[in-house]
Structure 1
């Protein structure tokens, strides 16, 4: 027994030394996930798969690996996935119809994945994340129309819904301004992306709607050839929309050296927002008894009621003749009272909102800079 003890002691010391010289696990910084919120929200609403097993939001490698697992061969991603779920990928994909497995920009999709993977590559240096991001950029190039612009899920039109155009253009503007997230891009790819950006910018300027010769703002969707406002889904009429127009204005205000055309577009659209605000009415949620809503439950309804003390509010839609606000039933019938909208559509769609507040807050500073 005496001869065994020195051996045991030696092994213990060796193990201790090995542990002391083990390299520390690499620490990564948190990467913002806010651009995935819309898709995850729709997963919670519509997915038949329910699981509380999710990755920690700080686990950027686990999240990036999930993004790689769901990337389609064309370089894009299907929409409405919880990118933090630990449900096996095959179980999620097999629950989707063939149509819903396809890549789409709908519900703020694809451009957030490219941004996230690029950031993970910047921290990890792992080539597979760079390759996936590059495939995503190639998808953007492949899906741009010859006349410029990108379409969404529901109609073959230039789409501003769900930040399709502005989300892509914000990403391309980051490339243009040499954001360090994309310093890995090869010159040829960068050149192509900047050309796509320039075409997209011209599309945005050409789509701005005029009423009686006065520039206003933008519709949710526009024709690829004429750039005129057009119908999207049945309840998405040709119109001027405050919601999507605010995203466009905020994008335009990001341009560091805007030319006269960009500046004129900002000036005229901000003037329209000021003219389009609605006063004397309150819009918001009020509590109700919890009730079923799609694959989940909901405990609020929405109202639009007279209130002289309320802050200004804006409608989602304004008509193309007089610039007056309106709403629409799901079949396309135009109405003017939120009470005429069904419960599901009142709480499931933004008919009114306060989106211009951010624009009107940032505008004076933008104007001073220019």
Structure 2
């Protein structure tokens, strides 16, 4: 058998050893993307730009770079973007109207980007992600109203729609409870954020709707000065709403060692949820032949029909005086039958739901705690 040249053998072993000691590609942990789902959903509904080439959900650096690419100079972000799409950001932005390029909390926006970028910075330590998150926090401070609270997209009012208030407040509560992702915050900025949190908490407590001396829950929108329930869009009437109120209650339940005002707000709003439940009706989707729906298609409709075996359901809106559930046409006309709502609005808006189930599930444990 022919022997290998010793010199060649030596260099072969050296190369093999060098290769074996090459550092492995950096591996990062997955970061939750669920808070981006609403914005991506609206992108799929309305965007004329389509791309099947998307980032892997585990590619946290690629996603973070996408967030940086779309961040506005004011520190916020435009809404309804597919943050995982591999597209030229300039082409996406240029396709938007001037208004839709602006920063907004609508459709659960801005606070998820801050959370995600802070988590990415915590894993990789790249300063550009920390700087972008800091700009996002500054946007929150800059858009807070003097008495506390934040507005949404459609009206200049305290806005609970789309988790505007609760999304921001949950983020600020993470800062208050020293969540590790925010240990990079400088003392001055942290102090300002905690002050904004305290003002926001007082706004939430002042907005709780009282009817005939009894505390109930919250409206979707409230006046910045009087804290009274007010009109949002034409079909968003002053009312008590189960959907947004549940998000508020769950936020309040996160507060450690709550004072008596917070405890009272939770107790009274949970009691209202119990009183507002609707029994004897089934609400849900049923299949239909696929049909066009905005820039996509849809294959279901929704029904609200008698069914003595159905689990309790709640309406989105309840009248302020009588407490009766109601719905609304897009022009603001109040109706009481889901079939009076157009197909587009029936499947495109949550008129009924099971949101209080999450609250009622954790309420006993909160009560004990």
Given the superposition, is the C-alpha separation of residues 215 and 10 from structure 1 closer, same or farther in structure 2, using an over 3 Å criterion?
same
Partner of 2:112: 112
Partner of 1:34: 34
Partner of 1:255: 255
- 1:193-226 deviation per Cα after TM superposition (whole angstroms, max 9, x unaligned): 0000000000000000011111000000000010
Q: Over aligned residue pairs, what C-alpha RMSD do you find? A: 1.2
Partner of 1:362: 362
Q: Determine the C-alpha separation between the residues in 1 that align with 2:97 and 2:43.
A: 14
- 1:151-198 deviation per Cα after TM superposition (whole angstroms, max 9, x unaligned): 000000000000000000000000000101101101001000000000
Residue ranges of structure 2 left out of the alignment (5+ in a row): none
Q: Determine the C-alpha separation between the residues in 2 that align with 1:21 and 1:215.
A: 67
Partner of 2:336: 336
- Alpha-carbon offset, residue 306 of structure 1: 0.6
Q: Determine the C-alpha separation between the residues in 1 that align with 2:284 and 2:12.
A: 67
Instruction: Map 1:121-140 onto structure 2 (within 5 A).
Output: 121-140=121-140
Residue 113 of structure 2 aligns to a residue whose secondary structure is helix
Partner of 1:20: 20
Q: Determine the C-alpha separation between the residues in 2 that align with 1:75 and 1:90.
A: 17
Residue 36 of structure 2 aligns to a residue whose secondary structure is helix
Instruction: Map 1:228-307 onto structure 2 (within 5 A).
Output: 228-307=228-307
Q: Normalising to structure 1: TM-score of the pair? A: 0.97
Residue 288 of structure 1 aligns to a residue whose secondary structure is strand
- Alpha-carbon offset, residue 285 of structure 1: 0.4
Partner of 2:158: 158
Q: Determine the C-alpha separation between the residues in 1 that align with 2:65 and 2:352.
A: 38
Residue ranges of structure 1 left out of the alignment (5+ in a row): none
Q: Determine the C-alpha separation between the residues in 2 that align with 1:89 and 1:11.
A: 48
- Alpha-carbon offset, residue 11 of structure 1: 6.3
Partner of 1:181: 181
Instruction: Map 1:37-52 onto structure 2 (within 5 A).
Output: 37-52=37-52
Residue 141 of structure 1 aligns to a residue whose secondary structure is helix
Residue 289 of structure 1 aligns to a residue whose secondary structure is strand
- Alpha-carbon offset, residue 24 of structure 1: 1.3
Q: Determine the C-alpha separation between the residues in 2 that align with 1:250 and 1:131.
A: 30
- Alpha-carbon offset, residue 8 of structure 1: 7.2
Partner of 1:352: 352
- Alpha-carbon offset, residue 20 of structure 1: 2.1
- Alpha-carbon offset, residue 14 of structure 1: 5.0
Instruction: Map 1:64-143 onto structure 2 (within 5 A).
Output: 64-143=64-143
Residue 85 of structure 1 aligns to a residue whose secondary structure is coil
Q: Determine the C-alpha separation between the residues in 2 that align with 1:348 and 1:235.
A: 13
Q: Normalising to structure 2: TM-score of the pair? A: 0.97
Q: Determine the C-alpha separation between the residues in 2 that align with 1:75 and 1:265.
A: 33
- Alpha-carbon offset, residue 13 of structure 1: 5.1
Q: Determine the C-alpha separation between the residues in 2 that align with 1:305 and 1:213.
A: 34
Given the superposition, is the C-alpha separation of residues 360 and 15 from structure 1 closer, same or farther in structure 2, using an over 3 Å criterion?
same
Q: Determine the C-alpha separation between the residues in 1 that align with 2:78 and 2:71.
A: 8
- Alpha-carbon offset, residue 18 of structure 1: 3.2
Q: Determine the C-alpha separation between the residues in 1 that align with 2:11 and 2:299.
A: 63
